[in-house]
C-alpha cells in the first residue's frame, strides 16, 4: 500500500465519524464554552469541519503562516448552522481526496513548514504532517464530543459505542 492510499483510506474512515459528530452540534450556542480558556463551540465545530481539508493544504501549499505579518490570521470562519458545517466538511474532504489523487509518495517526502509571524515553528516531511493532521482532528473532535455532552446533545459513536449510540 502506498502512503497516498493509506491517507485516502484514513480520510475515508474519519470523514463519516466527523460527520456524525457535526450532525449533533447545537445551532443556538456558538459562543458557549465550558471554561473561559476554552474555544467557543462555534469556532471548535467550524475547525473540526475544516480540518480534513488540511490534507489538501499540506499537499498544495509548501507552508502556512498562522499569523502573517501582513494580513489577518489564518483561521477557519465560524459557521452558524449544521448544514453549513456539513457542507464545509464535504468540501474539505473532497478537496483532500482530489489532492491525494494528484500526488505521489515521493512528493509526500518533501518538507512542509508551519510559520507564526514569518518564523518557522515546525518543519517536517509532508507525510508526517498528514499523519499529525489526523491525530489533531481526532483530538479536536474529541473535545467537541465533550461539548456535546455538556450541552445535553447526543454523543455519537466514534471508534466504538457511546452512552447514546450503541451501533457497535
Report the alpha-carbon distance of residue 137 to residue 164 in Å, rounded: 22
Instruction: Say what angle helices 126-150 and 3-22 make with each other, to 10 degrees.
Output: 10
> In this predicted model, what pLDDT tens digit does every residue of 9-36 receive, in sequence order?
999 999 999 999 999 999 989 999 999 9
Convert the pLDDT of each residue in 49-78 to its tens digit.
999 999 999 999 999 999 998 878 777 789
Domain residue limits, the chain: 3-150
**Is the full-model pTM beyond 0.85?**
yes
Instruction: Give, in words, the CATH class of 3-150.
Output: mainly alpha
Amino acid at each position: 500500500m502506498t502512503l497516498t492510499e493509506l491517507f485516502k483510506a484514513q480520510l475515508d474512515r474519519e470523514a463519516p465519524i466527523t460527520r456524525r459528530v457535526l450532525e449533533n452540534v447545537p445551532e443556538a450556542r456558538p459562543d458557549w464554552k465550558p471554561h473561559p480558556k476554552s474555544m467557543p463551540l462555534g469556532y471548535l465545530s467550524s475547525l473540526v469541519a475544516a480540518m480534513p481539508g488540511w490534507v489538501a493544504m499540506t499537499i498544495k501549499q509548501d507552508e502556512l503562516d498562522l499569523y502573517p505579518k501582513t494580513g489577518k490570521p489564518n483561521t477557519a470562519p465560524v459557521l452558524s448552522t449544521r448544514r453549513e458545517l456539513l457542507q464545509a466538511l464535504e468540501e474539505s474532504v473532497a478537496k483532500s481526496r482530489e489532492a491525494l489523487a494528484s500526488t505521489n509518495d515521493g512528493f509526500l517526502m518533501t518538507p512542509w513548514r508551519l510559520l507564526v509571524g514569518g518564523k518557522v515553528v515546525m518543519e517536517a516531511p509532508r507525510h508526517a504532517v498528514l499523519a499529525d493532521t489526523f491525530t489533531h482532528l481526532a483530538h479536536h473532535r474529541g473535545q467537541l464530543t465533550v461539548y456535546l455532552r455538556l450541552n445535553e446533545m447526543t454523543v455519537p459513536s466514534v471508534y466504538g459505542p457511546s452512552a447514546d449510540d450503541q451501533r457497535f
